Structure 1
Amino acid sequence: MSASAVYILDMKGKVLICRNYRGDIDMSVIDKFMPMIMDMEDEGQLSPIVQHGDIAFIYIKYNNLYLVASSKKNANVALVFSFLHKCVQIFLEYFKELEEESIRDNFVLIYELLDEVMDFGFPQTTDSKILQEYITQEGHKMEIAPRPPMAVTNAVSWRSEGLKYRKNEVFLDVIESVNLLVSANGNVLRSEIVGAIKMRVYLSGMPELRLGLNDKVLFESTGKGGKSKSVDLEDTKFHQCVRLSRFENDRTISFVPPDGEFELMSYRLNTHVKPLIWVESVIERHAHSRVEYMIKAKSQFKRRSTANNVEIVIPVPPDADSPKFKTTVGSCKYAPEMNAVLWTIKSFPGGKEYLMRAHFGLPSVENEDQEGRPPISIKFEIPYFTVSGIQVRYLKIIEKSGYQALPWVRYITQNGDYQLRTS
């Protein structure tokens, strides 16, 4: 990667914190950064990398701060960006908010962290759980414990040695978000599933976990599955604990997990999704005086599943007043700050259809129908259900002491960016 130095600047380009890692550049070169950014802003040509002579500035903006890495070498830019974002994450875990004031309040701590996360321009330990074992809010613990935690010198840098639990448990959540955009005439314009496998691990020792999914590539390569449904995962991203070479060889997801909560993997499926909750709207305007909405919501998933906490957000004109509602189920309320009606249904079983009518007065001065009415958006959560059909076939827990551990698996489907346009 070879970053020569890392800086944190305020919005005017003033250096709040800087750390010189390689000593191969003049640190005052950062004075050139802000004028170059302002010139690019004036020309409307902002770029995340700025070049000054033989020095590249690679930067990200967060709140009212710039985090900038400078490099003289031919750096791996993707890794530099990843490192800067990781620094933001670490600072947030330490002092909850990252802004100019929190930088000034915690500058000693930040220098200690910058010394640990990078050495001679190369990233080192960036796992905040491990860092928190020996760099605390009160200051460095190194004087008391001269040896850093094993995880820092260990091949498994994301997990500490010697963890003990009375009850060994693993909780695994498969969470899928559905992104959907439907046109006014009912055509699906965009649909995709974005999934994540999140874990909470409370296991003693150094266990190895093996996770088996109904992965299409695995089924095809091994001839398994028969008539079992398999899923073709795209854009798979793994936590650093997963042995990638093992996955590439035989599609086994094998890993020594971090302690506590983490995201094991994420994936995407660019697939045609039948809208899980379908909403039709009929809007009648009566010349300058009132507007009526008839909304029909239909659940298009199997009867044995139920959507919880469904919220249908129906946009209304900004000058609407005197709301009246009538609904077969749930409750309605007018949210003037959103210019919308919120129809909330606590429990929406599959294969059901519900109706809602809303009536508003409109001041007579308002001009006729506005162009481009905002779409209806829907929020929901369906437990014990995945749209993709992904399944955890097994979760094996192997630990040398041979204890028995309980794995718990949950499936949840929820809305992502889920919108239906109205005519």
Structure 2
Amino acid sequence: MFAQLFVLSAQGDRLLYKDLRGDGGADLPGAFFRRITALPGVRAPVFLEAPDGQGRPFAHVRHAGLYLVATLLPGASPFGAVEFLNRLASLLRDYCGALHEQTVSLNFALIYELLDELLDFGYIQTTRPDVLKNFIQMEPVVSQPFSLLDLSSVGLFGADTQQSKVAPSSAAARPVLPLRGEQGARPEVFLDVVERLSVIIAANGTPMKTDVQGEIRLKSFFPGFSEMRIGLTEEFCVGKTELRGYGTAVRVDECSFHSSVKLDEFERSRILRVTPAQGELTLMQYQLADDVPSALPFHLFPTISHDASGRLQVYLKLRCDLPPKSHAVNVCLHLPVPRASLSLAQELSSPEQTAALQPSTKSIEWLVPRVQGGSQLSALFKLEVPGLSQALLRELGPLNLSFEVPAHTCSGLQIRFLRFSGPQPNLPYRWVRYVTHSESYVIRLHAG
């Protein structure tokens, strides 16, 4: 199925390379990186023809800034390859902790041992952590850099849990299998409700597209095989015609479940039943389009003016429409400006904000570490644009906003309870967390 498998950093550095059949070229990672960086921003298609004279395509996925890449044999399924690479990323988190460049560098011997058990002459043997743990002998080297953008590093933003406690910041940034000396530690289970928000807003402020892609992820450090029962919001309904309960309905257009999830109680009580092995598992995926029940997290009010001398002024007022008890972190506004722009002067509403003109991309990046719900920020940017014309003004925008909202879901989906069935001598700690990411939050400045 696979001929070669390798892992590259975001800069194209080769972190791992395994030639599974002995017929690969040494420059395949370099050829892949040159091809992927030459693609436009959307980076499609996913599968690229490998220039190795054999016509083998590349299949790749990206996790935590790393490229996981495989070259495919003739007749191999590209969808199966993507599924395997995503599963490989989960296994690397299971065995090494948080997935990032330093973790891969520190654990390359363990990862090579893992690949030897996963693949035989390019063919997949198994991806089950409970089977693989019987053969893996290497001990992981744990590295725990804190990153709000990485869901495997938690205490996510200090979100409250069912026990009104906060998980230690490094709690989920460690391997699932216990290290020597940790055998007696009380196990833990993390349940994450993750939503990605895609929005396009017209120049007049009207939302043109709103889409929420959500999933419920389970990461279990519990070595037992007890059944787990997960209660969702009772008013959760699928489709526009179904109504449930008497409270405010939580509606999605469609949802799907992992094959291991038992749904015999879902229709009646909105309860998912699963018997998880150690490791990471996506229990449920769902989608909601257009009719998002909560207000959009941010609204932007731009004012643009210019004079005959080539001075362009952009005044941006950013309003956070989250509830006052909520907040957003890592807020970044990216504004393309005319290519002829020479310099930037700025006036920001608070000292913790920063902004800069990026010469390579000809864009302004406005960074705000944290924004409280109900608050408002502003920025005035003054650009020197020689020969400013209407054609150059059309190069301004659209704006792209990226952010993260902890302890918040746009759909309103909540976890009612997380329980283990039957008596347990050593029940694990249970942490429930919510987070919303901006997948694409585009605000147009011009009509049409």
The interval holding the TM-score normalised by the smaller chain is 0.5 to 0.7
- Partner secondary structure for residue 418 of structure 1: strand
Rounded to whole Å, the distance in 2 between the matches of 1:192 and 1:219 is 15
In structure 2, which of residues 305, 309, 315 is the aligned counterpart of residue 294 of structure 1? 315
AA paired with 2:435? I
Moved more, 267-276 or 60-69: 60-69
- Partner secondary structure for residue 318 of structure 1: coil
Alpha-carbon distance, 1:409 to partner: 1.7
- Partner secondary structure for residue 208 of structure 2: strand
Rounded to whole Å, the distance in 2 between the matches of 1:367 and 1:400 is 72
- Partner secondary structure for residue 134 of structure 1: coil
Between the aligned residues of both structures, percent identity stands at: 23
Alpha-carbon distance, 1:357 to partner: 0.9
Aligned pairs for 1:276-287 (under 5 A) are 276-287=297-308
The alignment status of 1:113 with 2:118, answered yes or no, reads yes
Alpha-carbon distance, 1:47 to partner: 12
* Aligned match of 1:126: 127
Aligned pairs for 1:222-241 (under 5 A) are 225-232=245-252, 234-238=254-258, 240-241=259-260
Rounded to whole Å, the distance in 2 between the matches of 1:79 and 1:356 is 47
The alignment status of 1:392 with 2:415, answered yes or no, reads yes
Q: 2:236, 2:270 within 8 Å by CA — same for their partners in 1? A: no
The alignment status of 1:353 with 2:376, answered yes or no, reads yes
AA paired with 1:418? Y
AA paired with 1:258? A
Rounded to whole Å, the distance in 1 between the matches of 2:434 and 2:128 is 28
* Aligned match of 1:33: none
Alpha-carbon distance, 1:395 to partner: 0.9
Q: 1:174, 1:412 within 8 Å by CA — same for their partners in 2? A: yes
Q: 1:206, 1:399 within 8 Å by CA — same for their partners in 2? A: no
AA paired with 2:120? D
Rounded to whole Å, the distance in 2 between the matches of 1:110 and 1:293 is 52
In structure 2, which of residues 284, 296, 302 is the aligned counterpart of residue 275 of structure 1? 296
The alignment status of 1:17 with 2:10, answered yes or no, reads no
In structure 1, which of residues 374, 379, 383 is the aligned counterpart of residue 402 of structure 2? 379
- 1:165–1:231 Cα change, 3 Å: farther
AA paired with 2:72? V
* Aligned match of 1:68: 72
Q: 1:285, 1:291 within 8 Å by CA — same for their partners in 2? A: yes
Q: Write the deviation string for residues 105-150 of structure 1: whole angstroms up to 9, x where unpaired.
A: x9998565323995xxxx6522357425414579xxxxxxxxxxxx
Alpha-carbon distance, 1:418 to partner: 0.8
* Aligned match of 2:357: 335
Q: How many matched pairs?
A: 349
Structure possessing the higher radius of gyration over alpha carbons: 1
Q: 1:212, 1:395 within 8 Å by CA — same for their partners in 2? A: yes
Rounded to whole Å, the distance in 2 between the matches of 1:303 and 1:360 is 34
The alignment status of 1:213 with 2:232, answered yes or no, reads yes
Rounded to whole Å, the distance in 2 between the matches of 1:314 and 1:368 is 17
Alpha-carbon distance, 1:67 to partner: 3.2
Q: 2:2, 2:122 within 8 Å by CA — same for their partners in 1? A: no
- Partner secondary structure for residue 380 of structure 2: strand
Q: TM-score, normalised by structure 2?
A: 0.62
* Aligned match of 1:187: 206
* Aligned match of 2:327: 306
In structure 1, which of residues 259, 266, 269 is the aligned counterpart of residue 278 of structure 2? 259
AA paired with 1:115? D
AA paired with 1:336? Q
Alpha-carbon distance, 1:373 to partner: 3.4
Rounded to whole Å, the distance in 1 between the matches of 2:408 and 2:242 is 27
Alpha-carbon distance, 1:336 to partner: 1.8
For structure 1, list consecutive stretches of 5 or more residues without a partner in the other structure: 20-45, 51-56, 98-102, 139-157
Moved more, 177-186 or 323-332: 323-332
- Partner secondary structure for residue 369 of structure 1: helix
Moved more, 222-231 or 177-186: 222-231
Q: 1:318, 1:336 within 8 Å by CA — same for their partners in 2? A: no
For structure 2, list consecutive stretches of 5 or more residues without a partner in the other structure: 7-17, 23-44, 50-54, 61-66, 102-107, 140-175
- 1:58–1:201 Cα change, 3 Å: same
- Partner secondary structure for residue 251 of structure 2: coil
Q: 1:320, 1:362 within 8 Å by CA — same for their partners in 2? A: yes
Computed over aligned residues only, the root mean square deviation of the Cα atoms, in angstroms, reads: 4.6
Alpha-carbon distance, 1:89 to partner: 7.2
Greater share of residues in helix: 1
Moved more, 251-260 or 389-398: 251-260
Q: 2:304, 2:315 within 8 Å by CA — same for their partners in 1? A: yes
AA paired with 2:443? L
Q: 1:207, 1:397 within 8 Å by CA — same for their partners in 2? A: yes
In structure 1, which of residues 166, 172, 176 is the aligned counterpart of residue 185 of structure 2? 166
AA paired with 2:128? D
Alpha-carbon distance, 1:421 to partner: 0.8
Rounded to whole Å, the distance in 1 between the matches of 2:268 and 2:77 is 26
Rounded to whole Å, the distance in 1 between the matches of 2:339 and 2:21 is 49
* Aligned match of 2:195: 176
AA paired with 2:437? Q
Q: 2:21, 2:121 within 8 Å by CA — same for their partners in 1? A: no
Q: 2:231, 2:271 within 8 Å by CA — same for their partners in 1? A: yes
